[in-house]
Amino acid sequence: MTAHDPEAMRRANAPTTTYRYDEYDAALVRERVAEFREQVRRRLAGALTEEEFRPFRLMNGLYLQLHAYMLRVAIPYGTLTARQMRRLADIADKWDKGYGHFTTRQNLQYNWPKLVDTPDILEALADVEMHAIQTSGNCIRNVTADHFAGVAPDEIEDPRPTAEFLRQWSSLHPEFSFLPRKFKIAVTGAAHDRAAIMVHDVGLRIVRNDEGEIGYQVVVGGGLGRSPFVGKVVGDFVPRRDLLAFLEAIMRVYNRFGRRDNKYKARIKILVHEKGIDDIRAAVEAEFAAMDRSVFAHDPAEFERIAGFFAPPPYESLPSDSQMLRAAKLETPAFANFADVNVGAHKIPGYAIVTVSLKPIGGVPGDASSDQMRVLAEASERFGFGELRVSHEQNIILPHVKQDDLFALWRTLDAAGLATANAGLVSDIISCPGLDYCSLATARSIPIAQAISTRFADMSRQRRIGKLGIKISGCINACGHHHVGAIGILGLEKKGQESYQITLGGDPTFSASIGEILGPGVTAEQTPDVIEHLVDFYLAEREEGEAFIDTWRRIGHARFKDVLRREGEDGADI
Q: Does 26 bind other proteins (CB under 8 A)?
A: no
Residue 531 CA to residue 524 CA, distance in Å, equals 11
Q: Taking the mean position of all CA atoms in its chain, how far away is CA 488?
A: 17
Residue from 9, 44, 47, 345 in contact with other proteins (CB under 8 A): 47
Q: Does 178 bind other proteins (CB under 8 A)?
A: yes
Residues belonging to the chain: 574
Residue from 11, 14, 21, 42 in contact with other proteins (CB under 8 A): 42
- Interface residues for other proteins in 364-423 (CB under 8 A)? none
Q: How far is the CB of 174 from other proteins (least distance, A)?
A: 3
CB burial class (10 A; 0-12, 13-18, 19+) of residue 25? middle
Residue 219 CA to residue 197 CA, distance in Å, equals 8
Residue from 292, 569, 570, 573 in contact with other proteins (CB under 8 A): 292
Residue 243 CA to residue 241 CA, distance in Å, equals 6
Q: Does 179 bind other proteins (CB under 8 A)?
A: yes
End-to-end CA distance of the chain: 59
Q: Does 52 bind other proteins (CB under 8 A)?
A: yes
Q: Does 169 bind other proteins (CB under 8 A)?
A: yes
Residue from 17, 18, 39, 337 in contact with other proteins (CB under 8 A): 39
Treating both helix axes as pointing N-terminal to C-terminal, what angle do 333-342 and 323-331 enclose, rounded to 10 degrees? 130
Largest CA distance in the chain: 71
Q: How far is the CB of 272 from other proteins (least distance, A)?
A: 18
The stretch among 28-36, 74-82, 428-436, 461-469 that binds other proteins (CB under 8 A) is 28-36
- Interface residues for other proteins in 74-93 (CB under 8 A)? none
Residue window 109-148: x/- pattern of binding to other proteins, with contact defined by CB under 8 A: -----------------------------x----------
Nearer of residues 87 and 252 to other proteins, judged by Cβ: 252
Residue from 177, 322, 412, 473 in contact with other proteins (CB under 8 A): 177
Instruction: Provide the β-strand partners of residue 295.
Output: none
| 231 closest CA partner among 191, 185, 190 | 185
| 345 closest CA partner among 354, 337, 336 | 354
Residues 6+ apart with CB under 8 A from 22: none
CA distances from 106 to 99, 303, 316, 393 (A): 16, 23, 29, 8
The stretch among 44-52, 118-126, 468-476, 477-485 that binds other proteins (CB under 8 A) is 44-52
CB burial class (10 A; 0-12, 13-18, 19+) of residue 544? exposed
Residue window 294-313: x/- pattern of binding to other proteins, with contact defined by CB under 8 A: -xx--x-xx--x--------
Q: How far is the CB of 384 from other proteins (least distance, A)?
A: 30
Residue from 2, 6, 13, 46 in contact with other proteins (CB under 8 A): 46
- Residue pair 472/527 in contact (Cβ under 8 Å)? The answer is no
Nearer of residues 46 and 212 to other proteins, judged by Cβ: 46
Q: How far is the CB of 257 from other proteins (least distance, A)?
A: 9
Q: Taking the mean position of all CA atoms in its chain, how far away is CA 189?
A: 16
Q: Does 3 bind other proteins (CB under 8 A)?
A: no
| 100 closest CA partner among 420, 437, 403, 385 | 437
Q: How far is the CB of 139 from other proteins (least distance, A)?
A: 9
- Residue pair 57/129 in contact (Cβ under 8 Å)? The answer is no
Residue 359 CA to residue 430 CA, distance in Å, equals 9
Nearer of residues 185 and 377 to other proteins, judged by Cβ: 185
The stretch among 220-228, 291-299, 310-318, 380-388 that binds other proteins (CB under 8 A) is 291-299
Please, what is the Cα angle at 119 between 434 and 87, to 5 degrees? Answer: 75
The stretch among 195-203, 284-292, 312-320, 324-332 that binds other proteins (CB under 8 A) is 284-292
Q: How far is the CB of 239 from other proteins (least distance, A)?
A: 19
Nearer of residues 174 and 212 to other proteins, judged by Cβ: 174
Q: How far is the CB of 255 from other proteins (least distance, A)?
A: 5
Any alpha helices (H) in 384-499, and if so which ranges? 406-415, 446-455, 459-465
Q: How far is the CB of 375 from other proteins (least distance, A)?
A: 36
Please, what is the Cα angle at 186 between 180 and 190, to 5 degrees? Answer: 160
Q: Does 168 bind other proteins (CB under 8 A)?
A: yes
Tell me whether strands 108-110 and 202-208 are parallel, antiparallel or unpaired. unpaired
Residue 370 CA to residue 372 CA, distance in Å, equals 5
Residue from 154, 175, 213, 316 in contact with other proteins (CB under 8 A): 175
Residues in binding contact with other proteins, number by CB under 8 A: 43
Q: How far is the CB of 72 from other proteins (least distance, A)?
A: 19
Q: How far is the CB of 160 from other proteins (least distance, A)?
A: 17
- Interface residues for other proteins in 194-253 (CB under 8 A)? 252
- Where along the sequence are the contacts to other proteins (CB under 8 A)? 22, 24-25, 27-28, 31, 34-35, 38-39, 42, 46-49, 52, 55-56, 138, 168-169, 171-179, 252, 255-256, 260, 290-292, 295-296, 299, 301-302, 305
